[in-house]
Amino acid sequence: MIAHQRLPSRPQVQNVTKQINPLHPETGVGRESPQSGLDWRSRLQIFAAEIHDVGLRHSSALGRDDCEHMLALVALSRERERDGRQKLRALNPKRFASGVWDLARHYVMEFTNSHAVLHEGYEALPGGYKLKASEHVWNNTPDEDDWRISHSQGHHPHTNRVGKDDDLGYLLFRVSDLQPFRWYHPFQTLFLLFMPFVESVHFPLYIASARARIEGRSVWTRDTFGSAARKILRHWRINYVEEPIRARWAALQVILGNFVARHVANVMIVSMLSCEHLNGRVLDVEPDDPPLDRDEFYLQQVLTSASFTVTDHFEAVHSLGVSLHIEHHLYPRMPIGRLPMIRDEIRPICEKYEVPYDCEPWYRALWAATVTVVRHSVPWAKPSAARLERRRFWREWRDEHRARRRRQAAVAPVEEYQLQLARRGQRLPVRSDEPLLTSLERAGLSVPTLCRRGACGTCEMPLLDGEILQYGAKGRQPVVRLCSAFPRSDLCIDM
């Protein structure tokens, strides 16, 4: 069994946080200030600040142990593949069944481990050169680049946003009354039952088409599906041609074992994916309602995602980053070995501020997702009471929050500063009421981004000179997150 890596003690991590983010930059209220007398809107703003503090605490404590934890999981996955393929050649039925189970668990681990690695959460850590997303190859049918782009640029920034997040129903299922009804939706219950048998083909083709839409390309072209087709053919060649040839007299049972193992793994993977955002209670977002700042982003990620509980061993080895899905969506690039500790902090914060935190046993979550698919297979489907309550919760807070920001903007003077790009030798005008990313994109510069709300760190750059206002920091800072940093003086960044 793979144990979670040893983590810093709580006092050590808290001391780091007090140095980084003692106050909310807008309200000026500290994390430990008395809560009495605060209105509902202020409590939710401080809720977002506390959520951000959790991420800062754990990000500041990342190190070699986090990489070693993932490398140990990768090694265990490869060991299970090697043992499983050897056992498939055995005449003993029990040993053959054990081989099928080992190989199936390898496929599940390949999915969950690679899901974390392709989020680029390990590259900057000591030893992370072994876990580069751009060089990672998984034993799965979707193309790595297709998945990384479609998932990081389509799903995470637009979670459960109708028309933007293709993972809301995977272009096949209708799971929200906000989605338009199509002619094939009455058959979606049958699609769900047969999904494990076609997932090895459907998933890579779906991922490839989602990437094409994100990049503004035509879907029905060779370029769109070429990489996915090569991955599918490679998987079939290895499992149904090369491995049977190596097995010689045991070729037929190896073909059978590979087929069963792949589909057992598909059942587990589909069962987990169905529980993340499709349970009928989580928030579904209208197309024209994206979160506008980090406060809204954090709240929306909690409301649109769901976690589920499994056994400790299964969670530690097979489902980190999937079963702890709320935590993963709050911090997409966080190494998954830290998510259990983060869960123990996030859930009490949600309870403290009465923000819904969706978590239930796996079998109940799977049943809820199945009911949602069945319910929305007809055009007159209505949302559940829990989903209506989350919509009300989100809209009420959103309206209050945006009204407050408009009042602030009306009285705050707009200043203009100069942003110097040190490596380019270029200077740009920037405004105090706009994040730096907006000014850079207006100038035609391409900047890597993911959440666009200051939560993930993808657009982080070294700040060489100047002062900024940034959620969690004010004044001179060593780094700046371009999507959420507002200039307060002339700036110079290492770009």
* pLDDT tens, residue by residue, 99-158: 999 999 999 999 999 999 999 889 888 888 899 998 999 999 999 999 999 998 889 989
Per-range mean pLDDT, top range of 12-26, 210-224, 371-385: 371-385
Q: How confident is the model at residue 249 (pLDDT cuts 50, 70, 90)?
A: very high
| Percent of the chain topping pLDDT 90 | 58
Q: What is the mean pLDDT of the chain?
A: 85
Which residues are CB-contacts of 5 (< 8 A; sequence separation ≥ 6)?
A: 65, 66, 68, 69, 337
HSE toward the beta carbon, residue 266, CA cutoff 13 A: 21
Q: Which residues pair with 465 in a beta bridge?
A: 492
**Range 250-278 average pLDDT:** 95
Q: Which residue has the higher pLDDT, 261 or 416?
A: 261
- Residue 71 CA: distances (Å) to CA of 67, 68, 150, 320, 336: 6, 5, 25, 14, 12
Q: Report pLDDT for 404.
A: 79
Asked if residues 173 and 167 have their Cβ atoms less than 8 Å apart, the reply is no
**pTM for the full model?**
0.84
* 186 pLDDT higher than 80: yes
| 237-248 per-position pLDDT tens digit | 999 999 999 999
The residue type of 80 is: R
* 5 pLDDT higher than 70: no
* 337 pLDDT higher than 50: yes
Closest to 266 (Cα-Cα) out of 167, 200, 207 = 200
* 12 pLDDT higher than 70: no
Type and span of the H or E element at 412? none
Q: Which residue has the higher pLDDT, 357 or 24?
A: 357
Q: Report pLDDT for 30.
A: 35
Lowest-confidence segment of 57-71, 128-142, 404-418 by average pLDDT = 404-418
Q: How confident is the model at residue 42 (pLDDT cuts 50, 70, 90)?
A: low
